[in-house]
Structure 1
Amino acid sequence: MCILFLHNGSKDLDSDYRLVLVSNRDELYDRPSKDMAPWNEDPGVIGGRDLEAGCDGGTWLALSPLRHKIGVLLNLPNITRPNAKTRGRLVADFVKSDAPTDEYVDSMKGYASECNHFVFIAIELACPTIKTYCNATDKLSSWEEASLGFSNSYPETPLKKADAGKMKLKDICTRLNKVSDKEQLTHELIEFLKSKERHLPDPQLKANKPDGVYEKFSSIYVSLPELRYGTRTHTVILVTKSGCVDVVEITLQPPIDLDNPKWKRTEMQFTL
């Protein structure tokens, strides 16, 4: 499970921000990965890397300030293909490409058809434009709403925590919409990503998770110590209308000991 929230402030004349992105990566605690950093093969790309064997340097979230792009991947549950191709490559290839979203999606559909099901979120920062592609439905959708929430479900049928979270994000981004509020904005966004409030009942979530477990997936912050699984990374990206980009990543450091967790905070700034 992972979750992504977006607030598009481009049409809000009072806001200094064109885009606010916040995301949690939920994963097995023992799955190897690399923290957010510039990539060796393309230093113009910043993102984490999945180091699991066979993942081909893929990622769940990456940013290219040079190409004005952000890519995010959310897995869909319950469909497992034998010998499926790695999904994380789709984000990596998008942010390393100069192709616009529609062209890129057309070019990768053959590969995507051999992957387990996913939702790919493509963000072009110039306007910005936000689009999703789901290989389960072969559907590319554009999203115009100011506040959006996506998790491990079809974009058109969000989980309850995604619906509730986008309203909370809207409140935060409406109150703290000036660059002078950046410190408080970042603090509230990180606290938002740490929310353990459960959003129940959620029949859609229950249908995809075993009884007695699904409730623990109904919060924005996920923790299942018995399965060595949960939220490992918080990401906040702020993009101002003047083109300044602030990136904050807070991630659990391996080996992950839940009795003594060590979180590393990384901050970066860029100009589009």
Structure 2
Amino acid sequence: MCLIVLNWQPQNRQWLSLSANRDEFYPRPASALEEWKEYPGLFAGRDLQQGGTWLGATKAGRFAALTNIRAPGAGPAEPQSRGHLVLDYLREPRNPEKYLRAVLEKGDQYAPFNLLCGNRNQLWYASNYPEPRLERLEPGIHTLSNAWLNTPWPKTELARTQLQHWLQQPKGSASLAALLDHYSPFPDDQLPQTGVPLEWERLLSAQFINAPGYGTRCSTGILGLEGRLELSELSWDSHGRIAGRVTWPVDLERL
């Protein structure tokens, strides 16, 4: 994932409202959001190159999402797949804090990442760059892109505003999946400086990216409402056109 905005309200009837765009190279194969046959009750898209995922949830109420940190040249020469950090959390019952502490103990095996892991009652954030960081999220709206949690990039601040407006009249996970729809780059004087050429800094500043060989591949919405999760995904082709739609209603297991 490369852009996430969420409203986390564990004490409320509507406890999770999340919208996310995943950006990736177009040739990298992936499959759409679905229930994994080898892990019944686990719903996620699948990276067909490394076998992991970028975002998912389970019938047990666990959910996780990953973004890369844009830091050219950082990380090990032969890094482990970051997508397995999401998958490993979702596969088995795990306490999110304990899981992320264990992940950070081996954080130097991975390229820079942000990782969110939560359940119905708690949500935690971890990053391995430039040093290990672990934080429990307080209720409220949070944003995440290719810097650290709640870094005020133009597209994350716009995402915060978009979600605030959506919360005034929520319409389900499908509308969350379509929320982050700003295609235009932001002005040069608003761009972060992440170490990539200015041309790419401009292209990557948009919420929805459609660049040569690289862009937004899917958009996901997750709505947590009482004992139910609803997940929706839009898939996009290399021209920025909708290539698929899917929605999965998930009744959570009673623990």
1:22-62 CA-to-partner distances (Å, cap 9, x unmatched) read 1000001110112111123211211111111xx2x211111
Inter-partner Cα distance in structure 1 for 2:75 and 2:10: 39
Q: Which residue of 2 aligns with 1:208?
A: 195
Root mean square deviation of aligned Cα: 2.1
Inter-partner Cα distance in structure 1 for 2:10 and 2:102: 29
Inter-partner Cα distance in structure 1 for 2:203 and 2:15: 33
Q: Which residue of 2 aligns with 1:51?
A: 48
Q: Which residue of 1 aligns with 2:128?
A: 135
1:102-136 CA-to-partner distances (Å, cap 9, x unmatched) read 11112223433211110011121x23x22110011
Residue 168 (str. 1) matches residue 162 (str. 2): yes
Instruction: Kindly state the Cα deviation for residue 197 of structure 1 after the two structures are TM-superposed.
Output: 4.1
SS state of the match for residue 269, structure 1?
strand
Q: Which residue of 1 aligns with 2:5?
A: 5
Instruction: Kindly state the Cα deviation for residue 248 of structure 1 after the two structures are TM-superposed.
Output: 0.6
Q: Which residue of 2 aligns with 1:116?
A: 111
Inter-partner Cα distance in structure 2 for 1:151 and 1:36: 21
Instruction: Kindly state the Cα deviation for residue 165 of structure 1 after the two structures are TM-superposed.
Output: 1.1
Inter-partner Cα distance in structure 2 for 1:186 and 1:266: 9
SS state of the match for residue 232, structure 1?
strand
Q: Which residue of 1 aligns with 2:221?
A: 236
Change (3 A) 1:111 1:47: same
Inter-partner Cα distance in structure 1 for 2:85 and 2:93: 14
Gap regions ≥5 residues in structure 1: none
Q: Structure 1 counterpart of 2:206, which letter?
A: S
Instruction: Kindly state the Cα deviation for residue 164 of structure 1 after the two structures are TM-superposed.
Output: 2.4
Residue 61 (str. 1) matches residue 61 (str. 2): no
Query: TM (normalized to structure 2)?
Result: 0.89
| Residue number among 221, 231, 240 corresponding to 1:247 in the alignment | 231
Q: Which residue of 1 aligns with 2:247?
A: 267
8 Å CA contact 1:149–1:162 kept in 2: the answer is yes
Instruction: For 1:93-112, list aligned pairs within 5 A.
Output: 93-112=88-107
Q: Structure 1 counterpart of 2:92, which letter?
A: S
Alignment coverage as a number of residue pairs: 248
Inter-partner Cα distance in structure 2 for 1:245 and 1:153: 28
Q: Structure 2 counterpart of 1:48, which letter?
A: G
Residue 159 (str. 1) matches residue 153 (str. 2): yes
Identity of aligned residues (%): 23
Instruction: Kindly state the Cα deviation for residue 198 of structure 1 after the two structures are TM-superposed.
Output: 3.5
Q: Structure 2 counterpart of 1:210, which letter?
A: P
Gap regions ≥5 residues in structure 2: none
Inter-partner Cα distance in structure 1 for 2:75 and 2:102: 23
Q: Which residue of 2 aligns with 1:26?
A: 23
Of 95-104 and 2-11, more deviation after overlay is shown by 2-11
SS state of the match for residue 81, structure 2?
coil
Inter-partner Cα distance in structure 2 for 1:82 and 1:236: 34
Inter-partner Cα distance in structure 2 for 1:257 and 1:83: 28
Query: TM (normalized to structure 1)?
Result: 0.84
8 Å CA contact 1:58–1:89 kept in 2: the answer is yes
Change (3 A) 1:121 1:161: same
8 Å CA contact 2:3–2:21 kept in 1: the answer is yes
Change (3 A) 1:63 1:111: same
Of 154-163 and 138-147, more deviation after overlay is shown by 154-163
8 Å CA contact 1:150–1:158 kept in 2: the answer is no
8 Å CA contact 1:24–1:221 kept in 2: the answer is yes
1:66-114 CA-to-partner distances (Å, cap 9, x unmatched) read 2x11111100121242111111110000011212111111222343321
8 Å CA contact 1:19–1:238 kept in 2: the answer is yes
Q: Which residue of 1 aligns with 2:239?
A: 258
SS state of the match for residue 102, structure 1?
helix
